[in-house]
Amino acid sequence: MPSGGRSSASSASGSTAEAAPRLNPLRALARWRRRHRILPLLGDTRLRGEREAGLLRWSVKVLGAEMAQRHYAAGLAGPGAPVPAGPTHLGLASRTCRQADIEHDWLRHWARVLGTPPVYHRKLWEDAFVLQAAWEAGMLSPGRRALGFAVGREALPAILAAHGVEVVATDLDAGDARARDWIETGQHGQAAEALYRPEVLSRAAFDRLVSFRPADMARLPESLRQRGFDLVWSVCAMEHLGSLERGLDFILAAMRCLKPGGLALHTTEFNLDGAGGTVRRGSTVLYQRRHLEGLAARLAAEGHRMLPLDDNQGAGMLDRFIDLAPLLEAEGPPLGPLFPPHLRLSVQGYPVTSAGILIVSGAG
């Protein structure tokens, strides 16, 4: 992944232990079997249909990687894409990820700041969304205070600090059992040390401006809810709190951390099938337009303003390519690694992308 943001494959920092569905014995056996396809005495235990399904997933990724490579070769994105001298004003509002963003100057600039080429990956887009919205609102300047939730090992705290912003970074306490999966996958932050980026700012400036403290997104400490911050953000976190409602409740609670006129920036999983079903509970839930419209109404009732959501699905070829879940280690890749576009992803059969939410705090 291009950044330290969290993936949708793990359980969540703010979910409760009770939120995880209890697996019955058959489901537990099936889950164990998926993780242990190769056994010492039996060898490959997959059925023919399972092997062929794995090859089909790989073939989809081959086609996607070829499409992306052609766009890179044309200089639309990737290492050969031109990079602007500075940020570009866009007039950003709440929006979903799309191919045209990756190919636009606004994202190319922040990709350079993040230390990566502008690749077709929605996790890069999420970090760039936060930085672009913060810059446009004048939040990337000395004297500002920012609060990050479930920061893991993100580059964002260091980048904000490089602009003179005082940053309080938080993540679930490492001793909490719910943090286990994040720790095992290298996506958990236990101290400020994991957030330091020597290529971004000096050690002295980082130590002066960045601090870390444990915090549970499901139960924000009262000490943080004192309206003392100009900016709050979370990247790919609210969907991991156990249910749709818990994620929305977190957004409302986090507004109490902001000064009047402050900015809240959150990214999350967005189900592009707005008229169909979705995942409402579990380790990764999927929001639809109606859920974010309901959030906007709740925010307005408390005096806040969520900027309108632009969920245009985009007109690019890669906007129509839906990546599939990563191949299991036992499945391959059969003919070498691939880097398909990752602007869309199938999550439990639903077409998913990333959405960025931008909220302005009211007088409250």
* 3-class DSSP state of 319: helix
- 11-48 pLDDT, tens per residue? 344 433 333 444 567 667 666 656 666 667 666 666 78
pTM score of the predicted model: 0.86
For domain 107-308+346-360, is the CATH number 3.30.230.10? no
The stretches in the chain having pLDDT less than 70 are 1-24, 26-27, 29-39, 41-46, 174-191, 327-336, 364
Please choose, from the candidates 277, 282, 295, 281, the residue with its C-alpha nearest in 3D space to the C-alpha of residue 355: 295
CA–CA dist 268, 245 (Å, integer): 13
The whole-number pLDDT of residue 36 equals 62
CA–CA dist 131, 159 (Å, integer): 9
The whole-number pLDDT of residue 41 equals 65
Residue keyed to tokens 């230390």: 115
Residue 16's Cβ-count burial label (10 Å; 0-12, 13-18, 19+) is middle
The whole-number pLDDT of residue 183 equals 45
The whole-number pLDDT of residue 12 equals 41
